[in-house]
Amino acid sequence: MIDVLIAVTVGCAAGVAAGLFGVGGGILFVPVLTLALGLSQINAEATSLLAIIPTVAAGTWTQQRYGNVRWQAAAVIGVAAVVGVEAGVQIATSLPESTLRRLFGVLMIAVAIQIAWRTRAKPDSDSGARGR
């Protein structure tokens, strides 16, 4: 029972993060599915993708009402990403994972700094899209 409660609570939190930041929530779904609900790692990763579908559908639907979704761009990215996954699987088998993790980690920190820097330097041009 407590496991179900944890799953629902974390699921909800992952959803809020998804809606707020435009991410799928998999980074939270996978540990909940393994630790609270006892799924194996591979099943958790697969099931996480299932959980992502209603999450992003609801988020996209809400964003669509504010006119924020660019469908053509989303379609191009989505199709290319499917190809990218295939390439990623090939690379994964030929490079040590720890090296890749560190490399990507450093890259992400660099991008974060760049975004923060640009935001700091730029005047706040739009202060919310309420009522659009």
Partner 1 sequence: MADRGTTLRLVLIGLVSGVFSALLGVGGGIVIVPLLVLWLGFRQREASATSLAAIGLIALVGVTLYAVRGHVEVGPGLLVGIPAAAGAVAGAVLQQRLRARVLSFAFAALLAAIGAYLVIS
Q: Does 89 bind partner 1 (CB under 8 A)?
A: yes
Nearer to partner 1, 2 or 74 (CB): 74
The residue within the footprint of partner 1, chosen from 1, 78, 94, 96 (CB under 8 A), is: 78
Alpha helices in 22-96 (DSSP H): 26-31, 41-65, 71-92
Q: Does 62 bind partner 1 (CB under 8 A)?
A: yes
User: Which structure tokens are listed for 109?
Assistant: 């920190």
Q: Give the CA dihedral 62, 65, 67, 68, nearest 10 degrees.
A: 0
H or E element, residue 5: helix 2-21
The residue within the footprint of partner 1, chosen from 1, 2, 20, 96 (CB under 8 A), is: 20
Cα separation, 9 vs 12, in Å, equals: 5
Q: Does 79 bind partner 1 (CB under 8 A)?
A: yes
The residue within the footprint of partner 1, chosen from 1, 2, 8, 35 (CB under 8 A), is: 8
Q: Does 5 bind partner 1 (CB under 8 A)?
A: no
Q: Does 94 bind partner 1 (CB under 8 A)?
A: no
Closest CA to 25 of 58, 3, 2, 61: 58
Interface positions, 37-56, toward partner 1 (CB under 8 A)? 37, 39, 42-43, 45-56
